[in-house]
Structure 1
Amino acid sequence: MSEILSQHHLLGLTIGICTFLIIGIFHPVTIKCEYYFGTRCWWWFLILGLLGIGGTLMVDDVFWSSLLGVFSFSSFWTIGEIFEQEKRVARGWFPANPNRKRKTGTDIIED
């Protein structure tokens, strides 16, 4: 894949566009995961990130290796964003899931 894109001088542009799309997809995923599962889903993103790094090390093609790297570190970034999203919900910037228990300070209350 990267050979074809390199010949036409499109490799960097294509990686940039795909990076933009990957990051754009992770934004609503973060919001939805926090809404439905709270912060307890952070380890899913850790596993995804580690799998992506493994894939990056195993793939020879520059294009796919780059995209796996972007995917991996977007997964790692999402771990922090899940906890930040919890704070945004507590501030009222995003809706809280009324069917899920949530933390306030050290207490757990039901909405």
Structure 2
Amino acid sequence: MHFHDTEDSQYHRTLRQAAPEMVEAFGAFDAAVFGTEGALDARTKELIAIAVAATTQCPYCMDAHVTAAKKAGATEPEVAEAVMVASALRAGGALTHGWLALKQYDQP
């Protein structure tokens, strides 16, 4: 079994049947965030989403947001840079969590 398969979206129907109000609320929230332009345009929102998807390691999010970013006019170098920004933050998070290991080591 592969973890990520584009056919997995069929399970959204099951989720919607099991928790319809919550799925509807999530859909409305997602539409409010991505469906309208506010202070950020669609291209910028999608580049942020790609960076977050890289950090959270969500392959479904990556599929959806790279496609949307391309439609919104994002370039391949912009997508690559968004991923590298996320990579730097993830690495930085590991580094600063390492401080906690050293802090704990110093405890009696």
Greater fraction of residues in helix: 2
Q: Same fold (TM over 0.5)?
A: no
Larger RCO (alpha carbons 8 Å, 6+ apart):
1
TM (normalized to structure 1)? 0.31
TM (normalized to structure 2)? 0.31
